[in-house]
Amino acid sequence: MSVAALLRPNRGAVLRGALIANTLLVGTLLYVLFTPAAIDPPRYTLYGLLWVGVGLAVLSREATVARSATVRAHRAAAGVAVAYLGALALAGGVVVPGGVPGAVADGWFVRTLPPGWGPALVFGGEAVALVLMPARVAGYLALAALVRGSVLDAAGLRSGVPGLLALFSCVSCSLPILAGVAALVFGAGSALAATTTGLSYDISTLVFLVTVGLLYWQPLVRRSDSSHR
């Protein structure tokens, strides 16, 4: 399939995109009007809405794609996607072993972060904490869905093993995990701070968009497929 064909959206995709954009716009206005949250700085809000919008678009698209594969392949793909989602959650600060330093309360509470990143539902436990920002949740679920689809696509190639090796040798799958680990090592002192402040917004958003693009077009898998024809 050509790049032009991949870039050409169908009518259903356009309608889903418009619905997602309108919903995000209305939701953002209501969120800012009825909570203490502010669109400040503006680029953080833009990044957060990009994560949510792209994530929802990917999830809606993956839900409509029918892939012919065996039950075993579907189970394997689901297992890989769940493992990948868990790795993203740990590296990206969604799941924080040892709790969140500086949490203002134990148990569940809500943080009114900028739109897209907030409202964030946080669980401030002692052994483990959860930081459920809409951007991270939608984005990581979308990446996991793309990985699941990529595994099924690779399993459907005539040469299945080389296809799977091409998929997992693709650096794009590990980009968000490496970025999350780098943020924890070189960023602020806590996972919550590392994923919601400073330059990590810019870097993580760039990594997310690049990863979505690479997983969507699957350059290595497509190259492996064409090399065996």
Asked if omega into 41 is within 30° of 0 (cis), the reply is yes
Range 184-209 average pLDDT = 58
Instruction: State the Cα–Cα distance between residues 208 and 212, nearest whole angstrom.
Output: 6
DSSP class of residue 113 equals: P
Question: 150-153: long-range contacts (C-beta < 8 A, 24 or more apart)?
Answer: 150/215, 150/218, 150/221, 151/73, 151/76, 151/77, 151/80, 151/81, 152/67, 152/69, 152/73, 152/74, 152/77, 153/67, 153/218, 153/221
Determine the pLDDT at residue 27.
Answer: 92
Residues 139 and 208: beta-carbon distance below 8 Å: yes
Task: Please indicate whether residue 179 or residue 57 has the higher confidence score (pLDDT).
Answer: 57
Instruction: State the Cα–Cα distance between residues 22 and 43, nearest whole angstrom.
Output: 19
Hunting for tokens 């669980």 — which residue is that? Answer: 123
Residues 69 and 156: beta-carbon distance below 8 Å: yes
**Where does the pLDDT of residue 197 fall: very low under 50, low under 70, confident under 90, or very high at 90 and above?**
very low
Q: Is the pLDDT of residue 3 over 90?
A: no
Range 10-15 average pLDDT = 77
Instruction: State the Cα–Cα distance between residues 58 and 119, nearest whole angstrom.
Output: 22
**Where does the pLDDT of residue 103 fall: very low under 50, low under 70, confident under 90, or very high at 90 and above?**
low
32-45 confidence digits (pLDDT tens):
999 888 887 888 89
pTM, full prediction: 0.78
Residues 149 and 168: beta-carbon distance below 8 Å: no
Residues 145 and 58: beta-carbon distance below 8 Å: yes
Q: Is the pLDDT of residue 194 over 60?
A: no
106-115 confidence digits (pLDDT tens):
678 888 888 9
Selection from 52-61, 126-135, 161-170 with the highest mean pLDDT: 52-61
Instruction: State the Cα–Cα distance between residues 191 and 180, nearest whole angstrom.
Output: 9
Residues 133 and 92: beta-carbon distance below 8 Å: no
Element (H, E) at 2: none
Domain extents in the chain: 3-95+133-227
Q: How many CB atoms lie within 10 A of CB 131?
A: 27
